[in-house]
A and B are shown apart, each in its own frame.
Chain A
Amino acid sequence: MDGIITVFVCEDSLDGIFTGVYDAWDSRLGHKNVRLEICQEEELELFCQYRPVETDREKAEKVFRTIERRMGEGAITHICQAAASADGRKADAIYRMVVLGLSLERGSEVVNCLTYGPVSTVMDLSQKAWHEAHKLMGFLRFSELQSGVLYGPVRPVHQVLSFLAPYFADRLRHENWLIHDVGREEMAVHRADMGWILVRDEALDAERLKWVSEKEARFQELWKCFHKTIAVEERINRSLQRQMLSLRFRSFMPEFADDGGRRT
């Protein structure tokens, strides 16, 4: 077996990765002989043994609690955010960071070990995922359907629904709303004054999403008008605008709808 690396292939979710961390550790193969990967990614390598990880909520929670207890809030926040990133390196980097963190006398120092590759990777991915979530907190647009439900479609690179949902749950507490990750077919559904849940693999009736309320068109027009007049003609600067608000966010924003969501 020596020299052969065992690859633990986990599901692309926080629970999946944490179960992978648990199993890899539990396998007692030695840290240098194991690797974590996210499933459906790249082709298989030689001299590797692939072991699929079956996501187990209980194991994942154990790992979560251990990290939280031993490494503190800072570390768990960054690890969760990194786990939401779309980068394939995340699973292994998280594993290495956890291994390092548990070996330190003061586990909370692990977030400062930026000279150690995996830690700096985790911090970097964490920042990227959070950054996108933060941008979408501003760029997400709701439209009001006839039923009064607010519908907000997004197409993020990273899995940011679990960051957006609690934010909007506080802000629009008395509204029924639905944030739809169009690319992943995932939804965060909020019921007024209750809570929110994450829903996967549930088809939405695309036709019904077009039935917007009476007021909707009027306020979209007002918003577009505001967006246009607030710009100072003497300072028009499309490339700065594009740098600050990249085109990929624009497809669901009414103020850019007239140019097919692409330019302006």
Chain B
Amino acid sequence: MQHIYMPEKISLMEKLKILSAAAKYDVACTSSGTSRKNTGKGMGNCTEAGICHSFSADGRCISLLKILFTNECIYDCKYCLNRISNDVPRASFTPQEICDLVLEFYKRNYIEGLFLSSGILYTPNYTMELIYQTLYKLRYEYSFHGYIHVKAIPGADQEIIEKTGFLADRMSVNLELPTAEGLKALAPNKNRGKILKPMRLVQNRMLENKSELAIYRHAPRFVPAGQSTQMIVGATPETDYQIINVAESLYQKFELKRVFYSAFVRVNEDKLLPVLPGGPPLLREHRLYQADWLLRFYGFQAGELLSEEKPNFNVLLDPKCDWALRHLEQFPVEINRADYYTILRVPGIGPRSAQRIVRARRMGRVGFDDLKRMGVVLKRALYFITCNGHTLYPIKIEEDYITRNLLAVKEKLPPGAGGQTTYRQLSLFDDCQALYSVGNKA
């Protein structure tokens, strides 16, 4: 490189503070998807399932050292804290500093690896080159075999993205906002085409790599843990239906491993950004993740969950219950006979318990007690299943009746996801007291 960027003299602690705070709105902190043994040289390995090393005060998992290379940026995206028009303290790491942090943290088992993103310094290519150098140093100078998740910077040359991909486990390009119109309004320097280009590139290269690996088992692996993306939910007026349709096509057409959703947090004062009085739309984010799971592991299609006429998820019921209630003609399902995918569609049964059911019934008839032990949530499932021809209690297969009962068993939302819709059970006595106090005043 011709010009070398000299970061200002500030302490490592200061830099870490600035550059981790700048990276915290990135959602993905997973370390899954690769399984790799230590090669005998250097430090580290990877496990397929991924490992959480800590949880921050917002309840999110910390698996990777999530930092930006630099928070200098030439772009002016409305929703971003690091946009050029913001007056925030700026800092940049050197590749050496990142290596030190990663290795020392990794040795103490604080982290599973590195998540490296960056603001755009000078040009996309320049930034991508810095990221590449850091990864090269980690992988080759220090023989680090831990997990590395890296951002592909839209606008950078194909060649440099490819080089970087051979050093990383996962690459991601942020979709930022679900639709092209949203992007145009809030990120004036970006456009949809520019974002999808590196995504397609990574996809194609992964495909080629697969055939290379089939021929040469020891060929270098390109992004073995796949690619992911994320989008901000609630900053622009898209419906849930639009969002999950986008997610579905990303899974199908771009073969993404994961799509992450991030509830919009208003970090900048800007007239183009919405004001959400209830704080970030956490319940909506939760429902989208539930639907995302249904798409990936339960064989559902976006069109089954929502439609043009019903474009948003039910606040009160999870998407699977909601779907089941609209398709009561398919229930009840006989646990001892139905096939795996039919069982999987019953509310209260997940992939794990469905697999257990299918395995266990080969060895004998399955009853309700067994289901409980296999991890089926009977208080939800009981309205949709029979065991050996009987339901657990005498029930009516009727939408109103089941809805009422499902709402009575409280859905176990992650704490805090209730957001603006926390309900309180009213009791007779509350009412009395209210009346009483009104009476007193009068």
**Residues in A lying within 8 Å of B, measured CB to CB:** 109, 111-116, 120, 124, 134, 137-144, 150, 152, 168, 170-175, 215, 219, 221-223, 225-241, 243-245, 253, 255, 264
Asked if B52 and A115 make an inter-chain contact with CB atoms under 8 angstroms apart, the answer reads: no
Could you say which residues of chain A place their CB within 8 Å of the CB of B263? Answer: 235
B356 surroundings in chain A (CB, below 8 A)? 114
Residue on A nearest B364 in the bound complex, by CB: A115
Q: What is the CA–CA distance of A67 and B40 in the complex, to the nearest angstrom?
A: 33
Which chain A residue lies CB-closest to B44?
Answer: A171
A222 partner, pick from B25, B101, B362, B367, beta carbons under 8 A? B101
Q: Does B173 contact A (CB under 8 A)?
A: no
Q: A141 contacts B108, CB within 8 Å?
A: yes
Interface residues on chain B, number (Cβ under 8 Å): 61
**How far apart are the CA atoms of A173 and B60 in the complex, in Å?**
30
In the assembly, what is the distance between CA of A92 and CA of B55, in Å? 38
Q: From residue A161, how far is it (CB to closest CB) to chain B in Å?
A: 15
Contact B282 A170 (CB under 8 A): no
Assess the A243–B415 pair: CB atoms within 8 A.
yes
CB distance from B35 to the nearest CB of A (A): 11
Q: Name the B residues within 8 Å of A120 (CB-CB).
A: 370, 373-374
For the complex, give the distance between the alpha carbons of A141 and B107 in Å: 9
Q: Is B251 positioned at the interface, with any CB of A under 8 Å from its CB?
A: no
Query: Which of these, B12, B44, B108, B280, contacts A235 with CB under 8 Å?
Result: B280
CB-CB < 8 A to A116: which residues of B? 363-364
Besides A109-B362, A231-B56, 9 more A-B contacts (Cβ < 8 Å) are: A112-B362, A138-B112, A140-B109, A144-B107, A175-B43, A219-B105, A222-B12, A235-B59, A235-B263
Given contacts A222-B16, A222-B101, contact A241 B57 (CB under 8 A): yes
Question: Nearest chain A CB to B262's CB is how many angstroms away?
Answer: 9
Q: Do A115 and B53 form a contact, CB below 8 Å, given A142-B108, A232-B265, A235-B265?
A: no
Does chain A have a CB within 8 A of B151?
A: no
B348 nearest CB across to chain A (Å): 17
Give chain B residues whose Cβ lies under 8 Å from the Cβ of A232.
24-25, 58, 60, 265
Residue contact B57 to A244, C-beta cutoff 8 Å: no
CB closest chain-A residue, reference B282? A235
Q: Out of B53, B65, B112, which one reaches A139, CB within 8 Å? A: B53
The 5 closest A-B pairs by CB, nearest first: A240-B59, A239-B415, A231-B56, A114-B360, A237-B416
Contacts of A241 in B (CB 8 A): 55-59
Contact A171 B38 (CB under 8 A): yes
Instruction: Choose from A112, A225, A227 the contact partner of B363 (Cβ within 8 Å).
Output: A112
User: Smallest CB–CB gap between A42 and chain B, Å?
Assistant: 24
* Given A114-B374, A235-B282, A237-B415: A138 in contact with B108 (beta carbons within 8 A): no
Residue numbers in B under 8 Å from A170 (CB-CB): 37-38, 45
**A113-B360, A172-B43, A222-B13 as given contacts; A142 in contact with B107, CB under 8 Å:** yes
Question: Which one of A112, A114, A173, A253 contacts B373 once the chains associate, using CB atoms below 8 Å?
Answer: A114
Is B49 on the interface with A (CB-CB < 8 A)? yes
Q: Any chain A CB within 8 A of the CB of B359?
A: yes
Contact B109 A152 (CB under 8 A): yes
Report the Cα distance A228→B24, complex, angstroms: 11
Residues on the B chain within 8 Å of A233, using CB: 58
Q: Contact at B40–A115, with CB atoms within 8 Å? A: no
Query: Is B54 engaged at the interface, CB distance under 8 Å to the other chain?
Result: yes
B62 touches A230 (CB 8 A): yes
Q: Are A113 and B415 in contact (CB under 8 A)?
A: no
Alpha-carbon distance A241/B416, docked complex (angstroms): 11
B65 nearest in chain A by CB position = A226
> Across the interface, which residues of B come within 8 angstroms of A228, CB to CB?
56-57
Decide: A150 and B104 in contact? CB cutoff 8 A.
Answer: no
